Amino acid sequence: MGNDPIDTQLSSSYKYGFSIDIEADTFPPGLNEEIVAALSAKKKEPEWLLQWRLKAFRHWQTMTEPTWAHVEHPPIDYQAISYYSSPKDTDGPKSLDEVDPKLLETFEKLGVPLHEREALAGVRKVAVDAVVDSVSVATTFRKELEEAGVIFMPISEAVHAHPELVKKYLGSVVPIYDNFFAALNCAVFSDGTFVYVPKGVRCPMELSTYFRINEAMTGQFERTLIVVEDEAYVSYLEGCTAPMRDENQLHAAVVELVAEGSGEIKYSTVQNWFPGDEEGKGGIYNFVTKRGICKGNRSKISWTQVETGSAITWKYPSVILKGDDTVGEFYSIAVTNNRQQADTGTKMIHLGRNTTSTIISKGIAAGRSDQSYRGLVSMGRKASNARNYTQCDSLLIGKECGAHTFPYVDVKNSSAQLEHEATTSKVSDDQVFYLRQRGLSEEDAVQLIVNGFCKDVFRQLPMEFAVEAQKLLEVSLEGSVG
Amino acid sequence: MLEIKNLHASVNGSPILRGIDLTVNKGEVHAIMGPNGAGKSTLSKVLAGSPEYEVTEGSVKLDGEDLLEMEAEERAAAGVFMGFQYPIEVPGVANSYFLRKAVNAQRKTRGEPEASSVEILRAMKKAMAFLEMDAGFRNRPVNVGFSGGEKKRNEILQLLMLNPKLALLDETDSGLDIDALRVVAKGVNSLRDPEHAFVVVTHYQRLLDYIVPDVVHVLVDGRIVHSGPRELALWLEEHGYGAIKAGDAGDAPRLEA
């Protein structure tokens, strides 16, 4: 690393002056070192983070967009994107009372009734760290979490409040050189969430962040970092919606999970960003890097996702099974309709002994959409007795959609065991007629078939999410038959 | 209750039904028999509203209402049930959940209040015990991994739960052993009363020993060519369809004019 020209360049401090008004609520479109530095300055970041961003930015400039995914889109003009925008009045609201009522209204529409959740806290507690266009505006239940020793805050705050933790783990799972979109995220990440659960603590509630893309032409570069120590546990819910719009929006988030000792992380996503209209116009490009590492022995990471939105999805939540006896899981439902494209799957990297991974992927394609499952199961030389079970099922609705499966396997240890099952089925006319003959409408019939198809994954979702996910599927598949 | 006049239907442009006339009154059981390819299954599917078939001519009325104008699910709610020859599998959907959906979908269409899960479960338990079905079937996905006999019992379970005025049973006896046949018939017979009507499509007269029809019709080449009393089925078993097909019913029992 010492001889790396990028490193050398980094050692010289930033030499450009500011031409960006860092008081502005929105930066002008464009991306260069000045923008990166202004972004960092805006957040009053420490020098090390600025240098980290610049290093990533310089590396990103040498990279090209990946083209191997089974998706198509016009070239993205990274200079046409504004890399910072914040809602009005973001002077650190300390309670919900200080939050712009307009925003609260939006949350209501999105089904995030913060007040209600607070009131219901005695029953089932869900803390929401709401992210609207790059800046966290409300954080609830922080006190109770603090008492448990759990840190749950915007990552921009964590940089100041817990620099040693952020510095230790940021980029430790998804390095800045990892891929084009991850490098871009490192350079310009706006905000996101930081979670830390100390040794022996079971997080007393499910943590939830609702993301929402608000202003037109604002790229979203969220950064999430979750660390659990030995014998600690956290369940984290990520859910998103977005309003209608015309311009394509780039979203390149990075999520890093670290399970130390025998820690366990359950990460659930319901993703419902605007998928574009029936002709595929508008809609969000979702190019996300999600990866977790099971560092300690007997640690466990579980990804569950329900993906119904976005015009294009490029996403492979992965687990590096480094410790012995570690467990990685990936449960996924991906729904595409109309002109949506999705290339999604997972990577299970078995390094330790007796490591186990399970992959259950359910893809539903309707309309003229196209989707691919792309998965890698890798078993390293030292991964003796590693096991993987993969089940990839595709369900097609109509005649114009497509489903593809690209499973990759790389085994370097002869004691490894792998099982792979894959099916492709259609919602048949006979099935629909049968259900209609019993009284169900055509849409209810398809819905019932789809829900049955997805059952194995719904079962993995926290209760309230499972309900929301079923509703999302209904909405996503509206008009896909008939 | 059911009035079919000059019904013509085709699939992919080739005509299957070529002028069916049939009247079924409340409380009656009509058997439709005939050789393979005569259009027996087509008749039940057309009546149930399968989009596979195109009605080209004729009319069908159910209690005076135009059945052909209704969607399949509207016909179901209006009281038309079809027992499938090959019941369809719905993976991942529990039998009990499916039945609850179906019962309440029909109630909703009819503007009736929905039944509670408890009510439906109670009715289901009762019907399953009557049909000698293992309680485990409640939670099994609809028809998935069921044997032929289990699938048919499941059809009859749905019949009992949905309680239609008109049940069309399409080859319900196919693939059944004698015990299953007895149970299926028991289920059907339990609904027989002055309010219910049945159209039973079958190849074999065997089923009619258990579900005794009021009228037997012979369907050949898309037309009903002969109708007779229950004894006609026995006669057919002895003589086959050959004579009737050739237009010479001879001494075949016929309905009094």
Give B-chain residues touching A435 at CB under 8 angstroms: 88, 90, 102
- What percentage of residues in chain A have a pLDDT greater than 90? 46
Point out the residue among B52, B90, B106 whose CB comes nearest to the CB of A429: B52
B163 touching chain A per CB within 8 A: no
Query: Does A406 fall in a domain?
Result: no
A79 assigned to some structural domain = yes
Q: Can you spell out the DSSP letters for A177-216?
A: TS-HHHHHHHHH---EEEEEE-TT-B-SSEEEEEEE--ST
Is the pLDDT at A218 greater than 60? The verdict is: no
In the predicted structure, residue A14 carries a pLDDT above the cut 70: no
**pLDDT recorded at residue B245:** 75
Interface of A with B in 274-303 (CB under 8 A): none
- Specify the pTM: 0.80
DSSP-assigned letters across all residues of B120-156: HHHHHHHHHHHTT--GGGGTSEETTT--HHHHHHHHH
Q: Domains, chain B, ranges and CATH?
A: 2-245 (3.40.50.300)
- Does some domain include residue A27? no
Is B121's Cβ below 8 Å from some Cβ in A? no
pLDDT score recorded for residue A219: 52
Q: Are B42 and B54 in contact (CB under 8 A)?
A: no
Beta-bridged to residue B17, according to DSSP, are: B9
Flag whether pLDDT at B149 surpasses 50. yes
Q: Is some CB atom of chain B closer than 8 A to the CB atom of A437?
A: yes
B146 and A CB contact within 8 Å: no
Residue B247, exposed/middle/buried by CB under 10 A (0-12, 13-18, 19+)?
Answer: exposed
- Give the pLDDT score at A240: 56
Q: For residue B36, is pLDDT > 50?
A: yes
Looking at beta carbons, which residues of chain B come within 8 Å of A430? 88
As a whole number of angstroms, the distance between CA A379 and CA A412 comes to 6
pLDDT at A98 > cutoff 90: no
Percentage, residues of chain A above pLDDT 70: 77
Q: What pLDDT was estimated at residue A383?
A: 96
- B49 and chain A: CB distance < 8 Å anywhere? yes
Average pLDDT over residues B65-91: 96
| Helices marked H in B14-139 | 40-48, 72-78, 95-109, 117-130
The pLDDT assigned to A269 comes to 87
For residues B25-51, give the mean pLDDT.
94
Residue A448 contacts B, CB cutoff 8 Å: yes
A95 band by pLDDT with thresholds 50, 70 and 90: low
Asked whether residue A431 is domain-assigned, the answer is: no
Residues of B in contact with A440 (CB under 8 A): 73, 101-102, 105
Residue B141 contacts A, CB cutoff 8 Å: yes
What confidence category does residue A412 fall into, taking pLDDT thresholds of 50, 70 and 90?
Answer: very high
CA–CA min distance B168, chain A (Å): 11
pLDDT of residue A117: 35
Indicate yes or no: CB of A439 within 8 angstroms of CB of B73.
Answer: yes
CA B50, B54, B58: angle at the middle one, nearest 5? 105
Mean confidence (pLDDT) of chain B? 93
Taking residues A102-128, report their average pLDDT: 43
B81 interface with A at CB cutoff 8 Å: yes
ipTM computed for the complex: 0.96
**CA-to-CA dists, residue A76 to A72, A73, A149, angstroms:** 11, 8, 43
Q: What is the DSSP string of A274-321?
A: ----TT--S-EEEEEEEEEEE-STT-EEEEEEEE---SEEEE--EEEE
Interchain proximity A439–B105, CB inside 8 Å: yes
The distance of A363 to chain B (nearest Cα, Å) reads 15
Supply the pLDDT for residue B120.
94
- CB of B111 within 8 Å of a chain A CB? The answer is no
CA angle A70, A72, A78 (to 5 degrees): 120
**Residues in chain B within 8 Å Cβ distance of A439:** 73, 76-77, 102-103, 105-106, 109, 162
Query: Structure tokens of A372?
Result: 């691919």
**Residue of A431, A437, A453 with shortest CB distance to B92:** A453
Q: Is the dihedral of CA A89, A95, A100, A103 positive or negative?
A: positive
Task: Decide if A29 is inside a domain.
Answer: no
Residue A154 lies in a domain: yes
Residue B251: predicted pLDDT: 80
- The C-alpha of B73 sits at a distance from chain A's nearest C-alpha, in angstroms, of 4
Q: B73 and A436: CB-CB below 8 Å? A: yes
Which is it for the CA torsion A300, A306, A310, A313, positive or negative? Answer: positive
| Number of other CB atoms surrounding residue A28 within 10 Å | 12
pLDDT at residue A119 above 80? no
A25: closest CA among A69, A76, A91?
A91
pLDDT band per the 50, 70, 90 thresholds, residue A413? very high
Over chain A, what is the mean pLDDT? 80
- Using the Cβ of A130 and the Cβ atoms of chain B, whether some distance falls under 8 Å is answered with no
Residue B154's pLDDT is: 95
Q: Note whether residue A391 is domain-resident.
A: no
Q: For residue A203, is pLDDT > 60?
A: yes
State phi, psi for A64 to the nearest 5 degrees. -120, 155
> Residue A148: is its pLDDT beyond 60?
yes
pLDDT given at position A272: 75
The string of pLDDT tens digits covering residues B97-113 is 999 999 999 999 999 99
d(CA B11, CA B28): 29
With respect to residue A330, please indicate whether it lies within any of the assigned structural domains.
Answer: no
Task: Label residue A118 by pLDDT band (50, 70, 90).
Answer: very low
3-state SS class at A362:
strand
User: CA of A455, closest CA in chain B: separation in Å?
Assistant: 6
- Structurally, chain A folds into a number of domains equal to 1
Look up residue A389 and give its two tokens: 């079970």
For residue A123, pLDDT over 70 is answered with no
Q: Please give the Cα distance from A469 to B180 (Å, whole number).
A: 41
Closest residue in A to B52 (Cα–Cα): A429
- State pLDDT tens for residues A38-92: 989 888 899 999 999 999 999 999 999 888 888 888 888 888 888 877 654 333 4
- Tell me what pLDDT residue A104 has: 54
Per residue in B151-191, pLDDT (tens digit) is: 999 999 999 999 999 999 999 888 888 888 999 999 999 99
Domain span including residue A308? 37-315
> Is a pLDDT exceeding 80 seen at residue A116?
no
Residue A214's pLDDT is what? 42
Determine contact: A23 vs chain B, CB below 8 A.
no
**Model pLDDT, residue A12:** 36
> Which residues of chain A make contact with B159, given a CB cutoff of 8 A?
none
Q: Best of A425, A429, A437 to disrupt the B interface by mutation (most B CBs within 10 Å)?
A: A437
CB B174 within 8 A of CB B205: no
